[in-house]
Amino acid sequence: MDAKRAAAERAVEWLEDGMTVGLGTGSTVYHFIQAVGRKVADGLTIKAVATSVRSEQLARQLGIPMISFSDVEDIDVTIDGADEVDPEWNLIKGGGGALLREKIVADASKRLIVIIDESKLVRHLGQFPLPVEVVPFAFELTQRKLRQLGCELRMRMAADAQPYRTDNGNFTMDCEFGPIEQPGLLADALHRIPGVVEHGLFIGMAAQVIVGRSDGTVDVLDRPRP
């Protein structure tokens, strides 16, 4: 079995009747939503919210009951992917273009479970460029501020050669910092740039990491103790 699919299908075991579930975004979460759809067809009763338009569309196609965020009191668990996970379970997310909504939903959840394949486990974050969502207004000034933090960056482009727009209408800058040895300090510095809406560093948010292996096995890792 594909490593991503193996991790995704294992994550379904954490769902229970009556839960409100956050659905993440990305290639691994695609398999998870497919698995949830099969469980719902078999009688699982949940409500869900999604972190992107495409995840919501897929969930609706599969018959997963979706609710408005205005009707959400608590999110019991969110299942989402990650582009990188370090030994302290700091994450880089946003390769799928939904980092702001992913962070809002993760922050509102009682538990964030991250599903990845083994290639996403890294010693230091930074092999994958860090996505940073910025407002289009005066984005050139924001780019300069980002470069002053020591990164090389490029604006993410869409298939039509126009700047990629997030579901929120913003731009995404993919920033290469090299090895990020102090992600908390970098996160604080990014938040001090006015044009930055949000960044893809998720610090101390994951409760569990489910790792799919190339041989089809799955490791379920609990959060390291401080």
Helices (H) and strands (E) in the chain, counts: 6, 13
For residue 181, indicate whether it is catalytic: no
How many CA atoms are closer than 13 Å to the CA of 78, on its beta-carbon side? 26
Closest CA to 83 of 182, 200, 166: 200
Burial of 33 (0-12, 13-18, 19+ CB in 10 A): buried
Beta bridge partners of 222: 208
Q: Which of 9, 56, 102, 133 is catalytic?
A: 102
Dist CA 46 CA 69 (whole Å): 15
CB 10 within 8 A of CB 220: yes
Query: Could you give the residue numbers annotated as active site?
Result: 102
